[in-house]
């Protein structure tokens, strides 16, 4: 990020945009991308998302040659790149939700592997970007490499991904996408996020920031009203919006992953700006993430079941909180192993316990024809939480830095205190929501279990549903 600031000659306050633009696009476009997968076919949407990602990854790299307007071009290309991934992530989760039987070890293992991909992929991206920057002295090759991997992912999807029949409803209502709801939702989320991430750059005294924030709020309430009262085929099923447990789950993950985004950004910022590590050393500083992420994914797969899923979610939020507390007490001139190393040993469990637990809960609460939407919901709260909380933390850091321009560490620590607050709130919500399951586990009683509807069966790439309205589980031998 520091190399981007130098090459584009932009102020330090714009740094959060280099990271937030990607999450902004994912967290907003995902609102409709999962629904499109449910309606038009998961495989088609997946391949289209990969193609889109390849194109905009290349354009991100090309922005290296445009030094005058390069920062704006780069941020826009990163946003469009994120839009491409918005069509990939929820439909992968939707496919897993459709293919694998609920409450089976195999389904838990698949969601655990998907959850592990987040910390491992994040660490690999940070580490390899440092390697490329050190070896070539240029950052554009990071995006050319990403384009190659996206092309490979799209090719593998094309040749190996199973055919998943679109589930038809009796009245064919599924064929109608709620475009008005999608417009209201995406626009409101974009305006709200833009306001918070742009405010640290131009200041809250700018009139257009306040206007966009207010318009974003108004459009969001219009979106909720449309979904509940008017839409014939809403993006968000009304039962979901009226389900207090699911809404508490989404709020918990939103806050927890928001703290994670702040921790990741500020860890890397401390390495580069305060401790003056090289890009390679900064990438190596996150080395605890892959092994601990793998351990977390395996342990989650083995432990997760209806009576323990709430415990795992609480544990993940406590891990986010613990990592935030350790980081906010880190000093500039101290050993790497004293604080930052331990923080990421713990923080990995937050990622790899919360994502599978939340994904499985949503997958089993929503019917088969809304599995793409289930993937969208979990991805929305994860990436939008990261993006919006980075904007809020950026505002805190900017205000503290304005008060004392010579104390960058104080501003850095203020943002970390905010991460402690929101992750602690997430832990409290998780404990309150799952109190019955937690008490049942402590007293060794069976928690009430909701009946789960089976998913459909696929025997080959050309298999169709045997009955439009009644589906069966896929057997273990047919995977």
If asked whether residues 77 and 201 sit together in one domain, one would say no
Range of the domain at 189: 184-231
If asked whether residues 93 and 210 sit together in one domain, one would say no
If asked whether residues 318 and 338 sit together in one domain, one would say yes
Mean pLDDT over 64-78 rounds to 78
- How distant is the alpha carbon of residue 197 from its chain centre? 17
**Is residue 466 pLDDT above 50, yes or no?**
no
Domain C-terminal end among 197, 214, 231: 231
If asked whether residues 44 and 125 sit together in one domain, one would say yes
> Which pLDDT tens digit goes with each residue over 91-122?
887 777 777 776 677 777 777 777 777 777 77
Total structural domains within the chain: 2
Domain C-terminal end among 231, 247, 267: 231
CATH number at residue 70: 1.20.1250.20
CA gap 175, 423 in Å, rounded? 39
Q: Please indicate whether residue 13 or residue 461 has the higher confidence score (pLDDT).
A: 13
> Which pLDDT tens digit goes with each residue over 300-349?
777 777 677 888 889 999 999 999 999 989 888 888 888 888 888 888 88
> Which pLDDT tens digit goes with each residue over 399-447?
888 888 888 899 999 999 999 999 999 999 989 888 877 777 777 765 5
If asked whether residues 281 and 427 sit together in one domain, one would say yes
Nearest 5°: CA angle at 97, between 220 and 428?
Answer: 55
If asked whether residues 350 and 286 sit together in one domain, one would say yes
Neighbouring residues of 456: CB distance < 8 A, sequence distance ≥ 6: 98, 165, 167, 368, 465, 471, 472, 474
8 Å CB contact between 320 and 347: yes
If asked whether residues 42 and 188 sit together in one domain, one would say no
In sequence order, what E strands does 65-180 have? Answer: none
If asked whether residues 261 and 292 sit together in one domain, one would say yes
If asked whether residues 334 and 469 sit together in one domain, one would say yes
What count of other Cβ atoms lies within 10 Å of the Cβ of residue 189?
A: 24
């Amino acid at each position: 990020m520091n190399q981007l600031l130098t090459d584009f000659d932009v102020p330090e306050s714009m740094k959060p945009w280099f990271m937030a633009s990607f999450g902004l696009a994912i967290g907003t476009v995902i609102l409709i991308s999962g629904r499109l997968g449910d309606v038009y076919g998961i495989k088609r949407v997946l391949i289209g998302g990969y193609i889109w990602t390849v194109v905009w990854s290349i354009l991100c790299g090309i922005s290296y040659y445009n030094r005058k307007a390069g920062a704006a071009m780069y941020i826009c290309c990163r946003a469009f790149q994120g839009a491409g991934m918005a069509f990939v992530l929820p439909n992968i989760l939707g496919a897993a939700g459709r293919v694998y039987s609920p409450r089976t070890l195999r389904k838990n293992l698949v969601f655990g592997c998907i959850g592990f991909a987040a910390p491992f992929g994040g660490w690999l991206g940070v580490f390899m970007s440092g390697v490329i920057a050190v070896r070539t002295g240029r950052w554009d090759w990071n995006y050319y490499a990403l384009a190659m991997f996206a092309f490979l992912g799209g090719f593998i999807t094309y040749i190996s991904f199973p055919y998943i029949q679109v589930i038809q409803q009796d009245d064919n209502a599924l064929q109608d996408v709620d475009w008005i709801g999608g417009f209201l939702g995406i626009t409101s989320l974009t305006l709200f996020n833009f306001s918070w991430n742009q405010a640290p750059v131009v200041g809250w005294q700018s009139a257009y920031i306040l206007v966009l924030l207010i318009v974003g709020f108004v459009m969001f309430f219009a979106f909720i009203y449309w979904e509940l009262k008017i839409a014939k085929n809403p993006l968000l099923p009304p039962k979901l919006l009226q389900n207090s447990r699911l809404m508490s789950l989404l709020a918990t993950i939103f806050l927890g992953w928001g703290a994670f985004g702040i921790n990741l950004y500020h860890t890397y910022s401390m390495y580069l700006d305060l401790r003056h590590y090289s890009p390679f050393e900064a990438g190596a500083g996150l080395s605890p993430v892959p092994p601990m992420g793998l351990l977390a994914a395996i342990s989650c797969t083995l432990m997760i079941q209806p009576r323990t899923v709430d415990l795992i979610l609480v544990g993940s939020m406590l891990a986010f909180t613990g990592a935030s507390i350790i980081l906010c007490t880190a000093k500039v001139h101290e050993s790497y192993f004293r604080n930052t190393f331990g923080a990421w040993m713990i923080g990995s469990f937050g990622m790899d316990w919360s994502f599978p637990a939340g994904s499985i809960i949503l997958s089993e609460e929503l019917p088969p024809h809304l599995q793409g939407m289930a993937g969208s919901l979990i991805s929305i709260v994860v990436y939008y939480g990261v993006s919006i909380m980075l904007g809020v933390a950026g505002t805190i850091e900017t205000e503290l830095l304005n008060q004392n321009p010579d104390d960058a560490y104080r501003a850095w620590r203020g943002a970390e205190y905010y991460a402690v607050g929101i992750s602690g709130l997430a832990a409290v919500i998780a404990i309150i929501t799952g109190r019955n399951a937690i008490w049942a586990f402590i007293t060794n009683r069976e928690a009430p279990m909701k009946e789960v509807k089976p998913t459909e069966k696929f025997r080959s790439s050309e298999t169709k549903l045997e009955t439009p309205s009644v589906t069966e589980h896929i057997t273990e031998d047919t995977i």
